[in-house]
Amino acid sequence: MKVLVACEYSGRVRDAFTKRGHDALSCDLLDTDSPGKHYTGDVFDLLNEPWDLIIAHPPCTALTVAGNRTYGEGKAKYPQRLEACEWTEQFWNKCKEVSPRVCFENPVGVLPRLTSMPKPSYVQPYQFGHPEQKKTGLFLHNLPPLEPTDNVYEYMMTLPKRERERIHYLPPSPDRWKIRSITFQGIADAMADQWGSLG
């Protein structure tokens, strides 16, 4: 299966597919942190050829509800939110033109309300073996929702809140946004196992 993992510098999802024998390429404006097939540049450069599957992680800063104090309606940066929605929807539509199966990953946000994109299905890291909470939306085109592989919710709830919400409580640092953007390994593996078998 020929797989494009867009807006991913970490290589986490790309490597999960590569390890299962797929021809996977990641793309981001940043160089990859993990050796592997990677294109550094604009993802639209790669959308003039067919792909069997595209998984994308479009920038979420202006799209997430966590940014409502800055990007909400009536706020100074609200026009940037609208621009981000328009760009993301154009990106979504272009991906559907060149691939029969598409997944866009984004946190809980405004895309369902401000675009014509479908309602997302939601996953949590604790459904895939990680005792943490980080509700994540998966916008799916011709893909089934991910099935949980290792639900550790009960164990997670025995942990202190700061541990089970580790990502939320990360201290300020230059790399905080990068750490928050990395796909959990269990979710990446589930994508490769469940969606990689569709090809």
The domain in which residue 76 lies consists of 2-198
Average pLDDT, the chain: 93
111-150 tens-digit pLDDT = 999 999 999 999 999 999 999 999 999 999 999 999 999 9
- Report pLDDT for 165: 86
- Report pLDDT for 167: 75
In terms of DSSP H, where are the helices of the chain? 12-18, 68-71, 78-98, 111-114, 153-156, 161-164, 176-181, 185-190
State the Cα–Cα distance between residues 125 and 57, nearest whole angstrom.
16
The domain tally of the chain equals: 1
**Is the pLDDT higher at 156 or at 173?**
156
Q: What is the CATH number of the domain that holds 162?
A: 3.40.50.150
- Report pLDDT for 159: 94
The residue to which tokens 């469940």 are assigned: 194
- Report pLDDT for 7: 96
The pTM assigned to this predicted structure is: 0.93
Secondary structure E strands in the chain: 2-6, 23-28, 38-40, 53-56, 102-107, 121-123, 136-141
- Report pLDDT for 171: 66
* Residue partners of 175: CB distance under 8 A and separation at least 6: none
* Residue partners of 94: CB distance under 8 A and separation at least 6: 44, 47
- Report pLDDT for 168: 73
| Averaged pLDDT for residues 16-30 | 97
Instruction: Using the predicted structure, report yes or no on whether residue 177 has a pLDDT greater than 60.
Output: no
State the Cα–Cα distance between residues 146 and 163, nearest whole angstrom.
25
| Number of Cβ within a 10 Å radius of residue 167 | 16
- Report pLDDT for 178: 60
| Number of Cβ within a 10 Å radius of residue 163 | 12
Cβ atoms of residues 84 and 37 within 8 Å? no
State the Cα–Cα distance between residues 144 and 128, nearest whole angstrom.
16
Instruction: Using the predicted structure, report yes or no on whether residue 160 has a pLDDT greater than 70.
Output: yes
Lowest mean pLDDT among 8-17, 49-58, 147-156, 170-179: 170-179
| Number of Cβ within a 10 Å radius of residue 132 | 18
**Is the pLDDT higher at 126 or at 33?**
126
- Taking alpha carbons only, the member of 60, 40, 74 closest to residue 135 is 60
Token pair, residue 8, equals 């991913």
41-79 tens-digit pLDDT = 999 999 999 999 999 999 998 999 988 999 999 999 999
- Report pLDDT for 150: 98
Instruction: Using the predicted structure, report yes or no on whether residue 174 has a pLDDT greater than 70.
Output: no
